[in-house]
Amino acid sequence: MSERTWNGPTLEVIGLGLAGEALSAEARQALDSAELVIGAPRHFEALEQQGLDVPRRAHFPSPFSALWSLLAEHSGQRIVLLASGDPLFYGLGGHLRKHLTAEQLRLYPAVSSIQAAFARIGQPWQEAEVVSLHGRPLSSLRAALKVNRWFATLTDAHSHPAAIADELVAGGFGDSTVWVAENLGTHEERVSAHTASLLSESTEVFSPLNVVIFRTQGAGGVLPEFPGITDAAFSTDGDEAGRGLLTKREVRLCVLSLLEPRAGDIGWDIGAGCGGVAVEWARWNPYGQVHALEYHAERLTHLATNRDRFGVIKNLHIHEGRAPEHIAKLPSPTVVFVGGGGRDLAAILEACWARLPSGGRLIASAVTEDARMALHGFSQIEPAQDDEWIQLAVSRGDRLAGQRLMRPHLPVLLFKRIKP
């Protein structure tokens, strides 16, 4: 059996609910007929508390990737894997489905810890956004925070309740109520309510088995909630806030509309600079992936800072290198934005176009006359009737001798072509 495949009988995955919650008759039958049961020590303890004996058992290996070798050793046997709550909700079932078909699995879900926690505080949760911080950077929470919304977080040692409260305070949500649900379903169960501003300063120790629920309350305004992030919010290589190699807000908004971000997109930002387009692109399309290519060391530093600042760590991938040479190392795209390129722009456009599949979108910008010539030259290689051309000439208010004036910025030419 090759790695991460399964040729044996249907794998059965049983989700264990809160302590004392009995298995369904179907799950009990699967457990009784299993020739091998794989789980964590706490899973077997939970079964023992129900009076269930599991003699044919094995623990999940460490590292977890070795699970596939363990399965290979027992191919041909009826195997049950134990999980917590609903295996398809940020759990084992989702991992298995990445490699196996639905027909190769049978799942028996139980009540999840998120469901139980909302039940404990008496709040409906159909509109809540669930954010898993388990094994993920705490700063990724910033990509989700919005005013007057319910959230639930799955935590780990680095995303403990006080650390989550710190993020809320930093985002302008210090007035939020934070509920911490510990050891749900056990004799040590405890559900407590806190104000984020006080919890962030607390030294109280919580059980590692906790779920954190909160409703964002407070002024907010620190993190953007709609496209068009102000330039000054970005870290840049300029001598003033918002200046430097950063696609300005008005142009950025037009670029985003031309990109038409979609779930499942794999996007390239070639010549990403300090990350204006890449960051907004990743933030407003959390179900797509953005790969930003930049070679300038200082701009790469600002790009990484902005990725962390706006919480788009999960879906913004930074690559150091020059185009077109480094393009071959990027995953195949569905949409490309070329915001830089200099003298190599013509070659970059051709290389990007060659990698795009049918229906792929190519968007490019030009400011200098040389770049404009490269864009026009590229458009003539395979003339198309439905190319889009937009020129933006933006003026921003300024002051001179105590009076208001409109100071013009350099015009930007935008081009879009869809591959037939």
For residue range 116-174, list pLDDT tens digits in order: 999 999 999 999 999 999 989 999 999 999 999 999 999 998 999 999 999 999 999 99
Of the given ranges (48-52, 81-85, 203-207, 305-309), which has the lowest mean pLDDT?
A: 48-52
Position 410 pLDDT exceeds 80: yes
When pLDDT is averaged across residues 180-202 and rounded to a whole number, the result is: 95
Domains and their CATH numbers in the chain: 9-110 (3.40.1010.10), 113-214 (3.30.950.10), 229-417 (3.40.50.150)
Residue 8 pLDDT > 90: no
Please state, in angstroms and rounded to a whole number, the distance separating the CA atoms of residues 149 and 164. Answer: 15
Question: What pLDDT, on a 0 to 100 scale, did the predictor assign at position 22?
Answer: 85
What 3-state class would DSSP assign to 13?
strand
- Which residue carries 């990109």 as its tokens? 259
User: How many other CB atoms are found less than 10 A from the CB of residue 126?
Assistant: 6
What pLDDT, on the 0 to 100 scale, is given for residue 383?
Answer: 78
DSSP code, position 298 = H
What's the confidence (pLDDT) of residue 273? 94
Helix (H) or strand (E) segment spanning residue 220: none
Confidence category of residue 2, pLDDT binned at 50, 70, 90: very low
Instruction: Locate 164 and state its tokens.
Output: 């989550």
Nearest to 371 by CA among 345, 352, 351: 345
Count of alpha carbons within 13 Å of 334, Cβ hemisphere only?
Answer: 12
Give whole-number Cα distances, 309 to 37, 305, 339, in Å. 43, 6, 22
CA pair distance 255, 223, nearest whole angstrom: 21
Neighbours of 55 (CB within 10 A): 5
Buried b (16+ CB within 10 A) or exposed e, 16-42: bbbbeeebeeebeebbeebebbbbeee
**C-alpha 314, offset from chain centre:** 4
> How high does pLDDT run on average in the chain?
93
Cα–Cα distance list, 122 to 2, 39, 117, 118, 119 (Å): 48, 32, 9, 6, 5
pLDDT of residue 20: 63
Rounded CA separation 67/315 (Å)? 26
Q: Nearest Cα to 388, choosing from 397, 396, 379, 380?
A: 379
Predicted confidence at residue 385, as pLDDT, reads 79
Q: 225, 173 in Cβ contact below 8 A?
A: no
pLDDT per residue over 52-72, tens digit each?
A: 888 899 999 999 989 999 999
DSSP 153: E
Strand partners of residue 413: 366, 391
Please report the pLDDT score of residue 242 as a whole number: 80
Q: What percent of the chain has pLDDT over 70?
A: 99
Give residues with Cβ within 8 angstroms of 247, minimum separation 6. Answer: 255, 273, 276, 277, 339, 365
pLDDT of residue 1: 41
Q: In this structure, which amino acid lies at residue 303?
A: L
**Residue 173 in contact with residue 224, Cβ under 8 Å?**
no
Q: What are phi and psi of 236, to 5 degrees?
A: -135, 170
Structural contact between residues 142 and 229, judged by C-beta atoms closer than 8 angstroms: no
Distance of CA 240 to the CA centre of its chain: 30
